[in-house]
Structure 1
Amino acid sequence: MKVLRRFVYKGKDDVQMYECSLDRMKDKISTFSKFGDAGHGGITRYSLSPEAIMARNEFIKRMKAIGAEIEIDDVANIYATLPGTDPDAKRIVMASHCDSVKNGGNYDGILGVMSAMEVLETVHEKNIPHKHPLTAMIWTNEEGSLYPPAMMCSGIVCYDYLPEDIRCKFKYEDMMNSKSILDNTSTFGEALDKSGFKGDKKYRLSPDRYMYMFETHIEQGPILEDAGNDIGVVDCVLGMFNYRLKFYGQTTHAGTFPMPKRRDAFFAASQALCYLHEEIDKLGYSDLVYTTGEVVCHPCVHTCVPDFFDFSFDSRHEDPKVLEKVLAIVKSCEEKTWAGCTCKVEKAWNRDTVYWDKKLVSYVKTSAEECGIKHQYIHSGAGHDAQFAAYMLPTTMIFVQSKDGLSHCEPEYSSPEHCTEGATVMLNAVLKADND
């Protein structure tokens, strides 16, 4: 870590920069990695599970130790706030989540919580003057790993501000009835009631009480590392679409039916997938990504020719016109016959590109420059609670370099130095925002 000093930036008046604590960050990483330790270097910490409750209690304990006021809303989002000098000023919130995917890593989500904690701890330790109350926040159920969908509680809280095609997926009653993927009987609402973290709706994030939101997160990709940069100044979350391609054939016996007469839905799907790769790659967009991540095969018996095969298709890019070109190729699969099988293309969902507040982005970039930390502009290909908050409040994100670009897996790693730099950049950006 660089030692930050008082210095002149671009000929302006002296700029006081503050540095977060590497030792405190190391301690937080070590401590929170124990909550849900899967024994292989990572964690499984489902939302509102005993492991997540341990992480929440640790957050509350540490925040109370510096005099932060704790509030919990009706969907278990936690807010820890240090008062500012202006009792009437709106709050500046720094937020992320503490739940994980199954066999995930020690940084996704929780780094944003630890960074927010570190900002408040540094402000407290160094008695840094600030006008606005500063809030560290834990969002509930960002991953949706146990109770779908992802970003559940930011969807509930930001519901009235979301576009209609997104809003309809986050009705409070539907979310309370979301069933556990493990037993398909217990619900999120039941887990919420049992957790001890169901608070009051009046504490929800809202424009009446909050002015800005920041979120620090690991990059989850290799772009920063490949470029030799430590911090990503995030400018947007990429637009995307998700479709299902379904292929219909005929089940016959695997050993008795002649090959020329077969209508193998699995084989048909493989032909279509190769076609998609070939045609989409011809578009020539190096920053376009697409994925087939989930498949369904029927009857899924080794002695049967499949009569049905279904795969997901996820594509992401900043420019909606590029996504339109990709979608046209995807939809063209319906117009063809694949190994004697028909294809039906169905929309699952989509989202537009969400751009962060330009002023807050500039605060992040300027803070990285003034701290002497190598940085670059970067897009987020992954979704985050911040993208829903952005419909409600001016919002931005900060990325920290991910080793080898790995995330949502146990080898996920960001060095304590990079994590501390991310918190340091957020601290100084928040202090710039405090002057507004």
Structure 2
Amino acid sequence: MYKCSLERMTDKIETFSKFGDAGHGGITRYTLSPEDNLARKEFVKRMEAIGAVIETDDMANMYATIPGSDPDAKRIVMGSHTDSVMNGGNYDGILGVMSAMEVLEAVVEQKIPHKHPLTAMVWTNEEGSLYPPAMMSSGVICYDYLPEAIRGKFKLEDMLQSKSILDFKTTFGEVLDKSEYKGDKANRLSPEKYLNMFEIHIEQGPILEDNKKDVGVVDCVLGMFNYRLKFYGQTTHAGTFPMPKRKDAFFAASQALVYLHEEIDKLGYPELVYTTGEVICHPGIHTCVPDFFDFSFDSRHEDPAVLDQVLAIVKSCADKTWAGCTCTVEKAWNRDTVYWDEKLIGYCEEAAKETGVSYQLIHSGAGHDAQFAAYMMPTTMLFVQSKDGLSHCEDEYSTPEHCTSGATVLLNAVLKADQAE
């Protein structure tokens, strides 16, 4: 069994954390921003130093490849993204890039024999923080392979017109055209050129830490749905209109939310999660009773039958009157559970056992670029323990030791995939 370098991994973590340093222990690194370009330049510098060939495609995805003993063999690719959310952490996304780099560096340094070319990849705009939606580039690249329910969201022409959430004017296409990393469409990830894909990521939750496991071998990305619940009332003056006569849409929504929690919790599924994360209130004036309130409802579980039960409860809100207000329930989008390739999962388990890294099987509740790639080629993921389960915040942290252990498992799993075909 081969091992990755703690010293090298620590150095990469420290170096990449400087690109977009927000001054509070985390980063803001929007895709194709000057900060992101610094991270990309560092990726190029380190990969060229070990003799990797750098390619970019038309979505500015980056590929650094070292050759294998068989020049005709398909590549094995590893990677993730360099961009972050606003005031995010130093591990989400970038750990997958650093780990892929570490695998290539270890192979070159230790002269590890391998048949297939090995590629470290950077996906563009996974977060969608500045230019929505999330997983934009992987959605475009994998477009022809995606289920119909997902595909329409990622039409290239629509993605290029996505506007910055900061100025609502600059488009992703404009920034992409100006980027030095925009390359040739022929360089895109494809099943004709690539054998399979691995992505490593921080867990973004507390399960591995709670169970005292270093690494998670991920078996699937949970299915989910996202709906909007909209409540319609009547605007009146906050100081003059009697309480019994009001149709307060905010109050109506609060009653419905309590109802949702009570009824869904009665289902008794411990792994089921659901969230109200975005709200809209109109007119949003402290002297006015709200006449409209809209909230998102996100629910995730592996079993579609469980999600169907949750959805029935959500839809039932439209059949009721809430504090004198009507309610509509509208679908935003959904996805099915995506299962990883069983052979690749097996290689990850074997690698963890043989390297002595503690692990457990685990689901992913969050979306990742790999889930779109899974429709195109055999794909799997690994998780690394997250301190206190925190992510998408400046307190996000995984120890260099856990990061290196994850990279070591990745390295040996990739070598097993290399030897198998």
**TM-score normalized by the length of structure 2:** 1.00
1:196 Cα deviation from its structure 2 partner: 1.0
Q: Which residue of 2 aligns with 1:274?
A: 258
In structure 1, what is the equivalent of residue 306 of structure 2? 322
Q: How does 1:144-223 map to 2 (within 5 A)?
A: 144-223=128-207
Task: Determine if the alignment matches structure 1 residue 401 to structure 2 residue 389.
Answer: no
Per-residue CA distance 1:41-74 (angstroms, 9 max, x = gap) = 0000000000000000000000000000000000
In structure 2, which of residues 71, 75, 80 is the aligned counterpart of residue 91 of structure 1? 75
Of 331, 336, 341, 2:325 maps to: 341
Q: What is the CA deviation profile of residues 136-157 of structure 1, one whole-angstrom value per residue up to 9, with x for unaligned ones?
A: 0000000000000000000000
Q: Structure 1 residue 255: deviation in Å?
A: 0.4
Give the secondary-structure state (helix, strand or coil) at the position aligned to 1:366: helix
Partner AA of 1:131 in structure 2: K
**CA apart distance, 1:346:** 0.2
Match of 2:33 in 1: 49
Is residue 2:419 matched to residue 1:429?
Answer: no
Matched, 1:309 2:293: yes
1:233 and 1:147 map into 2 onto residues whose CA distance is: 31
Aligned partner letter, 1:333: C
* Residue-by-residue CA offset, 1:282-308 (whole Å, 9 max, x unaligned): 000000000000000000000000000
Q: Which deviations, in whole Å up to 9, do the C-alpha atoms of 1:324-345 show, x marking residues without a partner?
A: 0000000000000000000000
Q: Does residue 278 of structure 2 align to residue 294 of structure 1?
A: yes
* 2:325 equivalent to 1:380: no
Shift of 1:279: 0.1
Structure 1 unaligned regions, length at least 5: 1-16
| Superposition map of 1:241-280 within 5 A | 241-280=225-264
Shift, 1:110, TM fit: 0.0
1:433 Cα deviation from its structure 2 partner: 0.2
Q: Distance in 2 between matches of 1:294 and 1:208?
A: 41
Q: Could you say what secondary structure the match of 1:142 adopts?
A: coil
The gaps in structure 2 that reach 5 residues or longer are none
Task: Find the partner of 2:355 among 365, 371, 380.
Answer: 371
1-structure distance, mates of 2:384, 2:207: 11
Partner of 2:211: 227
Q: Describe the SS at the equivalent of 1:168.
A: helix
The alpha carbon displacement at 1:363 in A equals 0.2
Q: Does 1:332 align with 2:325?
A: no
> Which position in structure 2 is the counterpart of 1:417?
401
Count the aligned residue pairs: 420
AA at the equivalent of 2:370: A
Q: Which deviations, in whole Å up to 9, do the C-alpha atoms of 1:137-189 show, x marking residues without a partner?
A: 00000000000000000000000000011111111111111100000100001
Structure 2 equivalent of residue 11 of structure 1: none
Q: Percent identity?
A: 80
1:384 and 1:425 map into 2 onto residues whose CA distance is: 19
Alpha-carbon separation, structure 2, partners of 1:223 and 1:68: 36
* 1:66 maps onto 2:50 in alignment: yes
AA in 2 matched with 1:85: S
CA drift of 1:310 comes to: 0.2
Query: Separation in 2 of the partners of 1:169 and 1:287?
Result: 28
How far 1:247 moved relative to its partner? Answer: 0.1
Do structure 1's residue 26 and structure 2's residue 7 form an aligned pair?
Answer: no
CA distance, structure 2, for counterparts of residue 24 and residue 383 of structure 1? 28
Provide the residue aligned with 1:135 in structure 2: 119
Task: Give distance in 2, aligned partners of 1:380 and 1:267.
Answer: 34
Runs of 4+ in 1 over 3 A off after TM superposition: none
Query: Cα RMSD between the aligned structures?
Result: 0.3
